[in-house]
């Protein structure tokens, strides 16, 4: 055999060996559940496949749902249940509410209702404590440390109270009046129970004004006037949403701006160029979005050069834009947690990782109310009007 043919054959063998190594490596990633897939070789796009029906939904029960430690939480006017993936009831708690609101901040769960006078708090084992209020409830929240705060409506103002993780009133009773402070929209407690920011809205005669007041709940709070650690005043906006990131940065989302307030009270303020189409619904009801923020944008604001309508913008924990995704349509659903984002455009749903890369695409054959990912990153729960279905992500 000539030297030229030998070199050619040797080159072909080396290429074949390298190809086998690459294919084997990709197959390993596929079988091990990595986010790197063979789909770019096979042309198959990951989607959702039916695994089993998790639960039949009785419309008369008016149930709302959430995911808790890979189990299903079913909340109705008559009570709340935790249901495992094999359909077994882990625990249940009865109560009587007309329109209950469910808020999950693992390992704690809180159930109450607007204008009601009772809130119950549960954890992985069931009931922890319950609170009966003197005033009708306007809003409430639960921290991951089990601290409960609620806003109650008085005759000419509001009161805000706090209970620890055993249901004991910590002695805080912040009373404000509409003509002075305005309307409290929301209050939350930090994971370490050291801070409680409150967002007030004041429709002043010379324009809108929002105030964020942060109370110091530590032993040093009594040394500060009205326990106030700091305050931020914002003109011309409404700030209905507050939540904490894992680095203890407070994120305040207004209708035209976002404030990022770090542990040292430094403020990073961004004025938005677009209207907000959607904020992940679970920021209010399930605070496990702790490492980033994602927003779906609507049309640009008048006179401003903004992003294309339907853009999802990903911010890091310091408030910097890092990634984006084009949804190509009006966003009708947006969920996000620390492992996955799910965005819906009518009947089309897309699963994204936290950097905006597509994990699956799914076209629903029936009306879907919610798609909630499980923590393992391989399954989701699809909630429709008649059932909760467990689906697997695969190609």
Q: Report d(CA 80, CA 69) in Å as an integer.
A: 16
Exposed, middle or buried, 344 (CB in 10 Å: 0-12/13-18/19+)? buried
Whether the CB-CB separation of 270 and 276 falls below 8 Å is answered with no
Asked if residue 263 is part of any domain, the answer here is: yes
| Number of Cα atoms under 13 Å in the Cβ half of residue 380 | 28
Asked if residue 245 is part of any domain, the answer here is: yes
Residues of the chain with pLDDT under 50: 26-42
Kind of pairing between the strands at 293-300 and 274-278:
antiparallel
Asked if residue 360 is part of any domain, the answer here is: no
pTM, to two decimals: 0.85
Q: What pLDDT score was predicted for residue 376? A: 76
Whether the CB-CB separation of 208 and 217 falls below 8 Å is answered with no
Q: Report d(CA 129, CA 120) in Å as an integer.
A: 6
Whether the CB-CB separation of 249 and 219 falls below 8 Å is answered with no
**Which residue bears the tokens 């954890």?**
123
For the chain, the C-alpha Rg in angstroms (whole number) is 25
Instruction: Kindly state the percentage of the chain with pLDDT values over 90.
Output: 76
What is the CATH classification number for the domain harbouring 127?
2.130.10.10
Exposed, middle or buried, 259 (CB in 10 Å: 0-12/13-18/19+)? buried
Asked if residue 165 is part of any domain, the answer here is: yes
Asked if residue 129 is part of any domain, the answer here is: yes
Asked if residue 133 is part of any domain, the answer here is: yes
Q: Report d(CA 116, CA 63) in Å as an integer.
A: 18
The token duo for 262 is 């770090």
Whether the CB-CB separation of 142 and 110 falls below 8 Å is answered with yes
Q: 181-233 pLDDT, tens per residue?
A: 899 999 999 999 999 999 999 887 677 899 999 999 999 998 899 999 999 99
Asked if residue 170 is part of any domain, the answer here is: yes
Q: Which domain holds residue 262?
A: 118-271
Q: Report d(CA 34, CA 360) in Å as an integer.
A: 13
Q: 30-87 pLDDT, tens per residue?
A: 444 444 444 444 457 899 999 999 999 998 889 999 999 899 999 999 999 999 999 9
Asked if residue 205 is part of any domain, the answer here is: yes
User: Among 177, 142, 170, 137, which residue's Cα sits nearest to residue 285?
Assistant: 142
Q: Report d(CA 36, CA 53) in Å as an integer.
A: 29
Say whether 272 sits in a helix, a strand or coil: coil
- The count of structural domains within the chain is 1
Q: Report d(CA 111, CA 120) in Å as an integer.
A: 5
């Amino acid at each position: 055999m000539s030297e030229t043919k030998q070199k050619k054959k040797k080159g072909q063998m080396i290429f074949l060996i390298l190809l086998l190594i690459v294919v084997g490596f990709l197959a390993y990633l596929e079988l091990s559940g990595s986010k790197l897939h063979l789909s770019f070789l096979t042309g198959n796009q990951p989607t959702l496949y039916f695994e089993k029906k998790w639960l039949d939904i009785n419309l008369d029960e008016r149930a709302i749902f959430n995911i808790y430690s890979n189990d299903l939480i079913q909340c109705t006017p008559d009570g709340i249940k935790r249901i495992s993936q094999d359909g077994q009831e882990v625990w249940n708690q009865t109560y009587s509410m007309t329109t209950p609101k469910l808020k999950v901040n693992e390992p704690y769960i809180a159930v109450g209702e607007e204008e009601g006078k009772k809130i119950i708090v549960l954890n992985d084992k069931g009931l922890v404590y319950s609170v009966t209020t003197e005033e009708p409830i306007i809003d409430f929240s639960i921290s991951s440390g089990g601290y409960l705060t609620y806003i109650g409506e008085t005759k000419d103002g509001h009161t805000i109270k706090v209970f620890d993780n055993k249901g004991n009133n910590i002695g805080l009773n912040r009373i404000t009046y509409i003509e002075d402070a305005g309307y409290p929209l929301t209050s939350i407690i930090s994971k370490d129970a050291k801070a409680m920011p409150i967002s007030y809205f004041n429709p002043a005669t010379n324009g809108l004004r929002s105030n964020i007041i942060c109370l110091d709940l530590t032993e040093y709070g009594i040394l500060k006037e009205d326990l106030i650690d700091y305050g931020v005043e914002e003109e011309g906006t409404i700030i209905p949403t507050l939540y904490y990131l894992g680095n203890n940065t407070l994120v305040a989302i207004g209708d035209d701006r976002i404030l990022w307030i770090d542990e040292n009270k430094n403020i990073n303020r961004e004025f938005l160029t677009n209207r907000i189409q959607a904020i992940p619904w679970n920021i209010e009801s399930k605070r496990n979005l702790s490492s980033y923020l994602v927003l779906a944008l609507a049309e640009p604001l008048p006179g401003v050069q903004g992003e294309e309508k339907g853009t999802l913008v990903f911010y890091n924990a310091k408030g910097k834009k890092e990634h984006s995704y084009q949804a190509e349509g009006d966003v009708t659903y947006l969920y996000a947690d620390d492992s996955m984002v799910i965005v819906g455009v009518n009947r089309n749903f897309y699963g994204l990782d936290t950097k905006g890369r597509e994990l699956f695409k799914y076209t629903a054959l029936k009306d879907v109310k919610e798609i909630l990912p499980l923590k393992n990153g391989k399954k989701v729960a699809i909630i429709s009007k008649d059932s909760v279905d467990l689906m697997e992500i695969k190609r």
